[in-house]
Amino acid sequence: MNIERMTPDERAARHAALAEVARITVVDELALGDRSPSELQAVLGLPSNLVAHHLKVLEDAGLVARRRSEGDKRRTYLTLADMTTGEGEPIPLAVSRVVFVCSANSARSQLAAALWAQTSDIPVASAGTHPAEQIALGAKAVAERHALKLIAAAPQQLATILDGGDFVIAVCDNAYEELGSSVSLHWSIPDPVAQGEDAAFDIAYAELYRRIATLAPRLIAA
């Protein structure tokens, strides 16, 4: 959201939406990763109806967006729509390696690892919970369009590369819901392979680029 393009009414709604401790807490929780309403309720310690109210206020103000899970269709995930919303000074987190994971390790996690490698000096890898036989042609094509060098030749099985000290980022809902608490962050990014069009891969690339640009300055090498 570009504040210079907002109308006075939109700007007022934005400020009003943030004028409440619970809603600021939600924004802080979503600053780096996505959360389900139930996960946010656990953080806030509020009744579900009150959490729903706060989330609606933030959605109406355009500060958060809601996506239905590609895995468990009963779930939805909240994403911070405007990464500039948070005003607090982030505390650097020391990690030894970042590992991006999705189900097949054929597109989203491959692109994320390549973007991370050109953004940060912290070591990176990618893997899948159920790896495909090869990297998706659409992922290779979008990488070529953006002069991005993929760092792996083929998908890998997560269990064979995972180390106890890894900072694991699930870039798909299925992987997150399968791995649970072993995931450090969850990014609910639609599967471009399922859609199959160049535009879907471009959207996934742009979303990954946006999130990595936000996260990378907040992590330091352990």
| 57-63-65 Cα angle (round to 5) | 90
Single pTM value for the model: 0.90
- On the CB side of 83, CA atoms within 13 Å amount to 13
Report the C-alpha gap between 16 and 29 in whole angstroms: 19
- Please, where in the chain does CATH 1.10.10.10 lie? 3-80
59: left (phi over 0), alpha (psi -120 to 50) or beta: alpha
- Write out the DSSP string of 166-189: -EEEE-SHHHHHHHGGG-SEE---
User: CATH topology for 3-80?
Assistant: Arc Repressor Mutant, subunit A (1.10.10)
Sort 136 into a burial class: Cβ within 10 Å, 0-12 / 13-18 / 19+.
buried
Identify the band that residue 10 occupies on the pLDDT scale cut at 50, 70 and 90: confident
Identify the band that residue 164 occupies on the pLDDT scale cut at 50, 70 and 90: confident
At residue 2, the pLDDT reads 45
- On the CB side of 86, CA atoms within 13 Å amount to 18
Is 93-221 a domain of CATH 2.40.30.10?
no
- Please, where in the chain does CATH 3.40.50.2300 lie? 93-221
Rounded to 10 degrees, the C-alpha dihedral 119/202/126/186 comes to: 90
